[in-house]
Amino acid sequence: MPLGSPVLLAPLAGITDLPFRHLVAGFGAGLVVSEMIASQEMVQGKWAVREKAELGLGAAGTSVQLAGRDPYWMAEAARMVAANGAAVIDINMGCPAKKVVGGYSGSALMRDPDHALRLIEAVAGAVDVPVTLKTRLGWDDDSLNAADIARRAEGAGVAMIVIHGRTRCQFYKGRADWAAIRRVKDAVKVPVVANGDIVDAESARTALRLSGADGVMVGRGAQGRPWQLARIAAELAGRPVPAPPEGAALADLVARHYEAMLDFYGTDLGLRVARKHLGWYLDGVRVDAALRREILTLGAPSDVLRALPGALSAPAGARQAA
Q: Measured between alpha carbons, how far is 62 from 99 in angstroms, rounded to an integer?
A: 26
- Is 175 annotated in a binding site? The answer is no
Q: Smallest Cα–Cα separation from 21: which of 59, 65, 52, 77?
A: 59
Q: Catalytic residue among 18, 32, 59, 95, which?
A: 95
Residue 134 is labelled as binding a ligand: yes
In the residue annotation, 95 being an active-site residue is answered as: yes
d(CA 272, CA 282): 16
CA distance readout (Å), 110 to 220, 223, 230: 24, 28, 32
219 labelled as ligand-binding?
A: yes
Determine contact, residues 120/41, Cβ cutoff 8 Å: no
The candidate with the shortest Cα–Cα distance to 208, out of 169, 170, 235, 240, is: 235
* Cβ-contact 124, 131 below 8 angstroms: yes
| C-alpha 244, offset from chain centre | 20
Q: Which amino acid is at 115?
A: H
For residues 237 and 228, what is the distance between their CA atoms, to the nearest angstrom? Answer: 14
Closest CA to 139 of 171, 111, 98, 97: 111
Rounded Cα distance, 136 and 286, in Å: 34
Enumerate the known binding-site residues for FMN.
65, 134, 164, 219-220
Active site residues: 95
Enumerate the known binding-site residues.
65, 134, 164, 219-220
